[in-house]
Amino acid sequence: MKELGSSQSTDPIGQNLIKLISNVCFSVFVFSVLMFTVIAITYQPPDPWESSRALTRVFTEVENATFKTDTSVLKTGEDITSSPGASPVGTMVPITEEGIEKSESNMTNVNVTADCSSVGLINCSDPRVLFTIEKFNLKVFKALVFLDYQTPVNGSKPDECDVSWRFRNKREKSWRKYRDFRRFQIGFTDDCSYKVVHAGRWHSGLNARRPRPRVNSTAPRVKIAPPVKDEDINDTIPVLGSDFKNGKYLYYSRGGDYCKGMNHFQWSFLCALGEAQYLNRTFVMDLSICLASTYTQSHKDEEGKDFRFYFDFEHLKEVASIVEEGEFHQDWRKWDKAHKKKISVRKVASYKVTPMQLKKDKSTIIWRQFDAPEPENYWYRVCEGSAAKYIQRPWHALWKSKRLMNIVSEISGSMDWDFDAVHVVRGEKAQNKKMWPHLDADTSPDALVTKVPTMIKPWRNLYIATNEPFYNYFDKLRSHYKVHLLDDYKHLWGNTSEWYNETTLLNNNHPVEFDGYMRVEVDTEVLYRAKTRVETFYNLTSDCKDGINTC
């Protein structure tokens, strides 16, 4: 009896011990699941399109949910991508000296030879003339990759030939092609071979130039501008037509991002484009941009700017599925008018509805609406939080406008691609002595004359990229260098330029202002092409780029 009573008294203790162990194990399990969930939600992998953490900070530093922008330098996809990658379909093979020699050796059936008895009578159509020019260019312009040449034509004198070619710069990471045409004086060597006696400057070979586009001021205004005449640019608006009903679309209404700085615009736009790619949908794109007052001459926000003025729309069409907003609405109205069954639309009122929740939605149109007050109505809020794990911004899709890049090539080419550059940041930063106490003095004319010669050899071509508004500010450097400023090239966007004619066509025959943002884009790209580059916040001053105590 005693043994039975003893057994009954010890059983509850064993049961309690088992319960305690079970509870502890369950608590550990719950805690582990909770920790794993928190890590999964908060982890944000680095953007694969960015080459460094420094570039990440450029686009992600947020204060009060809006961006602190550095308006003196602009980066887009072709600057961020680490290399051009594989050559796209249809890309030309670069011309090399080995290739030229091989072509020359294969000319066994060509009955054209240099006539030494008639020195000065040059046959520009002789393939050997072209080979001579190609070899000369490879030797002189080492910063360029030459892609193809047109057959040389006669210049203005019997011993001159004009020739046009396409090329790209080795420092540019995109595969875009540019054009130059030059006049060459051709002579003979002692063995009756051709040689280049003299090469003309950038765009000197006028007889090899392609026809320039002209604006007909009396032509009727049309809703959609006709295709521009530059054969290397096709930024016309794609037409959906009967394919509309077969598509799936992501549509963003305008939010608080409108009229913000361009870094803010890029961050939000690429968030929207990234969500569209995640959802496997076509993004409905508004080509109309509001340019922030930072970049305008009026110092006021200016609406109605065309996306194509600033960015490469042709490249965007090639790498992303997009449709223009006006075309989209037109086809939407046509469908609803012709069919009893309306297009299915899901309206999403808050950015807090995540892309993951929309992944399986079968509606034809997902319409995100941003009607909340700032900063709840910023597009980029969609990509925050848990969505950051799934949405990758396609930086490779956003390149600078080819028309602006043509200006960059003309400026660089006018210096024969052999120049150095100094980036002088002044403007509001130089006036703000609290944040940048030494910047004004460190970038003064006297300071520049003292510091720049220690980094750049005298009498070089020196391009100065700057936001300093006074043209004569850098005159003291002219006694040491061949100084070039952006305003020295006003003719490249003046009313007789290709840029002027082509942007006017895009703008329904209304002239386009070469605004502050375009100046930043061009300045930035010329700066990148310099052989030696001197930076304000790394070479000229000890002040921190983002203000005091931020180094």
End-to-end CA distance of the chain: 84
Q: How far apart are CA 106 and CA 101, in angstroms?
A: 9
β-pairing, 461-466 vs 420-424, is parallel
- Point out which residues pair with 464 in neighbouring strands: 422, 485
Element holding 180 (H helix, E strand): strand 178-188
Give the tens place of pLDDT for each residue, 313-351: 999 999 999 999 999 999 899 888 888 888 899 999 999
Name which residue leads in pLDDT, 401 or 171. Answer: 401
Q: Residue 220: what pLDDT?
A: 41
Q: How far apart are CA 184 and CA 159, in angstroms?
A: 8
Question: Any residues with CB less than 8 A from the CB of 47 and at least 6 apart, and which?
Answer: 56, 392, 393, 395
**Are residues 218 and 139 in contact, defined by beta-carbon separation less than 8 angstroms?**
no
Element holding 100 (H helix, E strand): helix 97-105
| Tokens coding 451 | 């510091």
Task: For residue 421, give the DSSP letter.
Answer: E
Q: Residue 218: what pLDDT?
A: 45
Chain Cα centroid distance, residue 398: 5
Question: Any residues with CB less than 8 A from the CB of 525 and at least 6 apart, and which?
Answer: 172, 400, 404, 405, 408
- Angle at which helices 402-414 and 516-528 cross, to 10°: 50
* Average confidence (pLDDT) over 496-517: 94
β-pairing, 178-188 vs 194-199, is antiparallel
Phi-psi region of 547 (alpha: psi -120 to 50; beta: other; left: phi over 0): left
Q: Residue 81: what pLDDT?
A: 58
Q: Residue 80: what pLDDT?
A: 67
Question: Binning pLDDT at 50, 70 and 90, where does residue 83 land?
Answer: very low
Q: Residue 120: what pLDDT?
A: 52
Residue 137, SS3 per DSSP: helix
Question: Binning pLDDT at 50, 70 and 90, where does residue 5 land?
Answer: very low
Element holding 498 (H helix, E strand): helix 498-506
Question: Binning pLDDT at 50, 70 and 90, where does residue 50 land?
Answer: very low
| Tokens coding 88 | 């796209």
Q: Residue 43: what pLDDT?
A: 36
Give the tens place of pLDDT for each residue, 408-464: 999 999 999 999 999 999 999 999 999 999 999 999 999 999 999 999 999 999 999
Question: Binning pLDDT at 50, 70 and 90, where does residue 15 land?
Answer: low
Alpha helices in 339-442 (DSSP H): 355-358, 402-414, 427-431, 439-442
Task: For residue 119, give the DSSP letter.
Answer: T
Flag whether the pTM goes above 0.75. yes
* Average confidence (pLDDT) over 245-258: 93
From 113-117, 134-138, 139-143, 362-366, the region with the lowest mean pLDDT: 113-117
Of the candidates 361, 545, 348, 290, which has an alpha carbon nearest to the alpha carbon of residue 439? 545
Q: How far apart are CA 535 and CA 412, in angstroms?
A: 19
Q: How far apart are CA 257 and CA 279, in angstroms?
A: 22
- The percent of residues above 70 in pLDDT, for the chain, comes to 79
**Are residues 440 and 465 in contact, defined by beta-carbon separation less than 8 angstroms?**
no
38 has a pLDDT exceeding 80: no
